[in-house]
Structure 1
Amino acid sequence: MSLATGHSAAPDVLQARSLATSGGPVRVGGSPFALDGVDGTARERIPTIIIDEHGAMARLVAGRIATLIRERAASSRPLVLGLATGSTPIGVYRELIRLHREEGLSFRHVVTFNLDEYYPMRADSIHSYHRFMWENLFSLVDIDPVNVHIPDGSLARGDVETACQAYEAAIVAAGGIDFQLLGICKTGHIGFNEPGSGETSRTRLVHLDSITRRDAAADFFGEENVPREAITMGIASILGAREIAILATGEHKAGVVRRAVEGEIDRAVAATFLQRHPNTTFYVDDAAAADLTRVATPWLIDEVVWEEALAVRAVTWLAARCGKAILKLTQHDYAENGLSSLVARHGSPGAVNGLVFNILGAKIRGKSKLPRRLKTICFSPHPDDDVISMGGILRKFVENGNDMTVAYMTSGNIAVFDHDVRRYLDFLVRLDEEHMGRNATVQELATIVQDFLQRKQPGDVDIPEVQDIKRIIRESEAVSGIEVMGLSKANARFLNLPFYQTGKVRKDPIGPVDVAIVADLLRELQPELIFVAGDLSDPHGTHRMCKEAIDRALDDVYGTGAARPEVWLYRGAWQEWPITEATVLVPLSQEELTLKIQAIFKHQSQKDSAPFPGQDEREFWQRVEQRNKTTASQLDQLGLAEYFAMEAYVIA
């Protein structure tokens, strides 16, 4: 199978093929709907491996690096690695650390060059890539510090250009980069090569794009704290590597992945230059691969197997493309858009139209068609995901007499502004002074907290007292939110999973204690149905990590033999399930949507301007309102029943 025009199969691809053959969760090219022998990657200019499990992606890439390290060690030659920072490659680093500890993989003869560093930036800053690399890899393996190279963000401005030239010279002196690991930003930049970067660019000081700075705002606790410049290896520096692996995960990367893989080479999207590299491989999860032609519209490439799910996607796509209701699509519409084989499969346009119309209609479930009197847990990663994502169905479940528990998995304390802490402290002190008599405990707490906040710098980890106050703020808001839904404090459980308790944006991996806490709750409540956040676009991966804890807990509690609770997946503030993927579509009246928004309003610390809004600057309630109305509008445009708003769920 040819992977992409003009490219030979990289060793990674061959390894992935082997894993796929052995039953691993990997797809190398093709489409699950493609006929045998059909090449689904015809439009892809960079070989792309789709891996539907993040741990498998990390193991695959780390395994390739380990193979290269061992091959070079056998010939007494160092391996030169180009490394990236950020949340995407961290799984690779954790797997390399595991290989070092458990399988004796040695880094003594490894030389590394990091892609970039913010400028200005002290090496010991909590935001520095220097610190990131030492905390997440270098200090945990046996690498010689002399062999570690990271751009110096603390240099005087007049020394930066000379240092950049020296960095390039050091790469050359090391023999060039053997394997370069990359991530990709939504602008398509690699390293900090922003839109407009040239193919011949080398290591240099650059100005950061506004989108890049907005993306980094959460890590810096505000866009105003993000440096406006960075030192980065150039496009030519990256393309000089002998082998390149670029990783992307999450729905929010889908558009830029397609642009980089299938689009024309363009200075506005630096990653497109990788098309000219003879040994680059893209590693993406299902969500990041969603816009690739072979995934989104495989019928445009070649023949496909017209399974029911694909027929629903194709007809829905065709209706939107033609601006028609499903039942009004004609033979001409199908023929003009490459879907004649679908009509042939079912005999007539009317038969296809009716099939898809009925499938979509059957997904719609009002209150009368929703479960009743079931033991139910709603797992909410943050203390507001429950009402933001599923406030409508939560109210309907309460009205249907279901035994509801809302389990808040993390405290959400890092998403509380310092000024909210000051406001609540002021309230406590005033209450103490005016109505309770002077209480030394409250006064002492106020002094400790105020002194810390006075000297706190952006990104500093909060002291325990501040973390506790922020946690309590979120917990009280969460209870207030579910009270709008007809529940009470007795229906709330605050799990406060340890992986979240770093006081920083970046979290620890899910560990046995996190899993045990979730498992204990499952054993105690014996739920028949659970709601789980299934979205992957949460900026910091907390939703994904919480789902991992739940999945592992389900395995521990139920194994493969016991009857598991039914799992309904919802999505958060960033994405909604497409109507073609959703299993259940729950209509909301205007009054029900208003009630949902009122519950969101109870989360006052997240209102007006949430600390971590992502790229969308609207308030959460505004996103929810548009998202739920848009889902209903899509069904209306397809010719199905008209509703005011709608939530979408997938039954796993």
Structure 2
Amino acid sequence: MASGSTAARDQSQARALDVSGGPVRVAGTPFVHAGVTGTARERIPTVIIDEHGAMARAVAGRIATLIRERASAARPLVLGLATGSTPIGVYRELIRLHREDGVSFRHVITFNLDEYYPMRRDSIHSYHRFMWENLFSHVDIDPAHVHIPDGSLPRADVEAACAAYEQRIADVGGIDFQLLGIGKTGHIGFNEPGSGEQSHTRLVHLDSITRRDAAADFFGEENVPREAITMGIATIMGAREIAILATGEHKAGIVRRAVEGEIDRAVAATFLQRHPNTTFYVDDSAAADLTRVATPWLLDEVHWGDALMLRAVTWLAAKCGKAILKLTQQDYADNHLTSLVARHGSPGAVNGLVFNMLGAKIRGKSKLPRGLRTICFSPHPDDDVISMGGILRKFVENGNDMTVAYMTSGNIAVFDHDVRRYLDFLVRLDAERIGGGSSVRALADTVHAFLDRKQPGEVDIAEVQDIKRIIRESEAVSGIEVMGLSKAHARFLNLPFYQTGKVRKDPIGPADVAIVAQLLREIQPDLIFVAGDLSDPHGTHRMCKEAIDRAVAEVYTGAQAAARPEIWLYRGAWQEWPVTEATVLVPLSQEELTLKIQAIFKHQSQKDSAPFPGQDEREFWQRVEQRNKTTARQLDQLGLAEYFAMEAYVIA
């Protein structure tokens, strides 16, 4: 069982949730979030649990409760299971419950949602392999009780196999608890836009967005299968209880659409609104667009703290297309914000307060720290210049003692053709200048032989991984040299969790934390920069932050607590902090933005066509230019000073 402190923490983080017994709120009943009480617009009960470990414990705890209840009644529990990164935490918690609390899976029967087609069972991409590696091999489940669609069947046999899959579900009495994730198109399983509510297990064509999302796992969209076998909407809706999980900012829009929008075949998850016992579990980032979070004043009376006032007034200014200081009483009245004016006496008073709050966030070089020992933790070997190249240069100019700590090698994000190009250079250099040593030629022969037979997504041999790591490290040094730093300012931590050679990484472990803790003890920083971007499609940013958080907690305890460094969070290549959330807004001149882009250019292996671009096909420098200019433009539209570009940070 969870310790008292863990249970208390989970209960505080699970809003409207009984961790041991599952969700207790049903649609239409009052909720409490961020000091707001009202009636939800949410058509699916939605629980916000920001700490991912707590979310995993909540859902796994519900499954464990059902397992025990069924075991006491001498009946098996039938689980519907999902794959992907989101449910991995749940599976790890179930493994822990099995090992430490004796939860037995001997009488559990499972049915997986889907599988790519065609797909061999032993492929590193197969969901069959995924489930055995991430759950089944670690618990006492009977292999005969495991059911996963077979992607290796001849096409002529698929239809009959799908019908048999449905029949097996019916034979065991249906699914008791179905675990789901949600795709960016709102798909559940592989029920893509256009899927019918009466659909059952079948072979489907994958949507282009779904295939693009999977491209990282397959090392290129061209390697992603175009079809899959999936349970249908009717199959999923037949489950007695459903839990659907979503994490990260990139899921916020589709979560709101699924929870608050009309039922629509174009968004399969909206059909869950008709299910009598479905609960959405989301973190704060995935919940960001829900009305109760984004604009709670539209629902009911709110408590007007400074943070909520800032959000409301900037929202109103954008909605009305006005500068903050030009907002009128009528603007507030037309948008359910008269209580805010009443609190402060007049629109002018509110406008002035918010205008000054935003202005106080802006810090040019003269207002930034000087003479501090500083560590910039960069998850990949380019996040430093992509995300905070502007402030990095200003910190250097202000005489701060800078260390840039690259937490992972980033070697999976290097194309094989770059390896061949660098090898060709080495062979030529060796032959023409060094003396034609056999070791270089032998290395080249080994690498070329492997690359010639390599299958898409296959894990690289050690030699190739090392070459790709060195490519990224040399680019990183070149990038910070543009900022006025040198090789001596770079540390390559090469954390063990990343060293799988695959997109999916190991959990953060004691060895990762120890490496970060050792650096903190050595440098004794006054300030550290940490990637707070949770939309990283491969989760590396999130995991690196976990390693830093655990290391900080370990190092700065007891007598050392007073030496804890100030922590500034930056965002990665996918999003920027909103001006309302940012603590510090750092303006950049045209020359400074150009310098930042030049540093990004040094990462040549990521230029032109990055291996993992996410959903945005633009190059990283293009995203940075647009993002930094947009942040500055937002302040200009709100009536503040007009800057060329701007970076945003949150002081944790």
TM value normalised by structure 1: 0.96
Give structure 1 stretches of 5+ with no counterpart: 1-17
Distance 1:428 1:451 in 2: 17
Is the contact made by 2:10 and 2:54 (CA closer than 8 Å) also made in structure 1?
Answer: no
Q: Aligned runs of 1:247-646 on 2, under 5 Å?
A: 247-559=245-557, 562-563=561-562, 564-646=564-646
Deviations 1:253-308 (A, max 9, x none): 00000000000000000000000000000000000000000000000000000001
* Residue matched to 1:5: none
Is the contact made by 2:530 and 2:545 (CA closer than 8 Å) also made in structure 1?
Answer: yes
Is the contact made by 1:205 and 1:230 (CA closer than 8 Å) also made in structure 2?
Answer: yes
Distance 2:485 2:44 in 1: 52
* Residue matched to 1:98: 96
* Residue matched to 1:650: 650
Deviations 1:124-160 (A, max 9, x none): 0010000000100001111000000000000111100
Give structure 2 stretches of 5+ with no counterpart: 1-5, 17-29
Is the contact made by 2:31 and 2:40 (CA closer than 8 Å) also made in structure 1?
Answer: no
Report the alpha carbon displacement of residue 34 of structure 1 after superposing the two structures with TM.
Answer: 3.7
Is the contact made by 2:378 and 2:405 (CA closer than 8 Å) also made in structure 1?
Answer: yes
* Residue matched to 2:69: 71
Q: Percent identity?
A: 86
Distance 2:266 2:305 in 1: 38
Is the contact made by 1:108 and 1:144 (CA closer than 8 Å) also made in structure 2?
Answer: yes
Instruction: Name which of 223, 226, 248 aligns with 2:224.
Output: 226
* Residue matched to 1:134: 132
Is the contact made by 1:33 and 1:310 (CA closer than 8 Å) also made in structure 2?
Answer: no
Deviations 1:388-423 (A, max 9, x none): 000000000000000000000000000000000000
Distance 2:243 2:615 in 1: 26
For 1:25, give the aligned amino acid: Q
Instruction: Name which of 14, 26, 45 aligns with 2:14.
Output: 26
Distance 1:525 1:298 in 2: 44
Report the alpha carbon displacement of residue 19 of structure 1 after superposing the two structures with TM.
Answer: 6.2
Deviations 1:90-145 (A, max 9, x none): 00000000111111111000000000000000000010000000100001111000
Distance 1:482 1:180 in 2: 48
Q: Secondary structure at the residue paired with 1:648?
A: strand
Report the alpha carbon displacement of residue 492 of structure 1 after superposing the two structures with TM.
Answer: 0.2
Report the alpha carbon displacement of residue 20 of structure 1 after superposing the two structures with TM.
Answer: 7.3
Report the alpha carbon displacement of residue 42 of structure 1 after superposing the two structures with TM.
Answer: 1.7
* Residue matched to 1:44: 42
Distance 1:443 1:104 in 2: 55
Q: Secondary structure at the residue paired with 1:125?
A: coil
For 1:616, give the aligned amino acid: D
1:23 and 1:159, CA in 2 relative to 1: closer, same or farther beyond 3 A?
closer
* Residue matched to 1:53: 51
Is the contact made by 1:373 and 1:400 (CA closer than 8 Å) also made in structure 2?
Answer: yes
* Residue matched to 1:113: 111
For 1:46, give the aligned amino acid: I
1:23 and 1:178, CA in 2 relative to 1: closer, same or farther beyond 3 A?
closer
Report the alpha carbon displacement of residue 188 of structure 1 after superposing the two structures with TM.
Answer: 0.2
Is the contact made by 1:257 and 1:288 (CA closer than 8 Å) also made in structure 2?
Answer: yes
Distance 2:557 2:506 in 1: 26
Distance 2:297 2:558 in 1: 37
Deviations 1:588-631 (A, max 9, x none): 00000000000000000000000000000000000000000000
Distance 1:120 1:212 in 2: 16
Report the alpha carbon displacement of residue 58 of structure 1 after superposing the two structures with TM.
Answer: 0.3
Report the alpha carbon displacement of residue 32 of structure 1 after superposing the two structures with TM.
Answer: 4.0
Distance 1:27 1:243 in 2: 19
Report the alpha carbon displacement of residue 24 of structure 1 after superposing the two structures with TM.
Answer: 2.7
Q: Secondary structure at the residue paired with 2:218?
A: coil
Distance 2:323 2:650 in 1: 24
Report the alpha carbon displacement of residue 459 of structure 1 after superposing the two structures with TM.
Answer: 0.5
Distance 2:521 2:487 in 1: 21
Report the alpha carbon displacement of residue 52 of structure 1 after superposing the two structures with TM.
Answer: 1.0
Distance 1:280 1:469 in 2: 48
Distance 1:97 1:534 in 2: 28
For 1:281, give the aligned amino acid: T
Distance 1:74 1:582 in 2: 52
Distance 2:13 2:523 in 1: 32
For 1:620, give the aligned amino acid: F
Deviations 1:498-554 (A, max 9, x none): 000000000000000000000000000000000000010000110000000000000
Distance 1:174 1:368 in 2: 70
* Residue matched to 2:20: none
Distance 1:354 1:26 in 2: 37
Is the contact made by 2:33 and 2:292 (CA closer than 8 Å) also made in structure 1?
Answer: no
Distance 2:56 2:251 in 1: 18
* Residue matched to 1:14: none
* Residue matched to 2:172: 174
Is the contact made by 1:497 and 1:517 (CA closer than 8 Å) also made in structure 2?
Answer: yes
Q: Secondary structure at the residue paired with 1:30?
A: strand
Q: Aligned runs of 1:118-197 on 2, under 5 Å?
A: 118-197=116-195
For 1:30, give the aligned amino acid: F
Report the alpha carbon displacement of residue 71 of structure 1 after superposing the two structures with TM.
Answer: 0.8
* Residue matched to 1:7: none
For 1:555, give the aligned amino acid: A
Q: Secondary structure at the residue paired with 2:353?
A: helix
For 2:341, give the aligned amino acid: V
* Residue matched to 2:19: none
Deviations 1:326-376 (A, max 9, x none): 000000000001100000010000000000000000000000000000000
Distance 1:21 1:441 in 2: 57
Report the alpha carbon displacement of residue 560 of structure 1 after superposing the two structures with TM.
Answer: 5.8
Distance 1:456 1:33 in 2: 52
Distance 1:196 1:340 in 2: 43
Deviations 1:27-71 (A, max 9, x none): 237354445xx32x5200011000010000000000000000011
Kindly indicate whether residue 240 of structure 2 is the aligned counterpart of residue 242 of structure 1.
yes
Report the alpha carbon displacement of residue 75 of structure 1 after superposing the two structures with TM.
Answer: 1.1
Distance 1:476 1:34 in 2: 49
Distance 1:418 1:211 in 2: 25
Deviations 1:242-263 (A, max 9, x none): 0000000000000000000000
For 1:339, give the aligned amino acid: L
Is the contact made by 1:34 and 1:303 (CA closer than 8 Å) also made in structure 2?
Answer: no
Aligned residue pair count: 632
Distance 2:650 2:184 in 1: 26
Q: Secondary structure at the residue paired with 1:27?
A: coil
Q: Secondary structure at the residue paired with 2:58?
A: helix
Distance 2:285 2:371 in 1: 34
Distance 1:55 1:455 in 2: 40
1:76 and 1:33, CA in 2 relative to 1: closer, same or farther beyond 3 A?
closer
Distance 2:259 2:66 in 1: 26
Q: Secondary structure at the residue paired with 2:204?
A: strand
* Residue matched to 2:24: none
Q: Secondary structure at the residue paired with 1:24?
A: helix
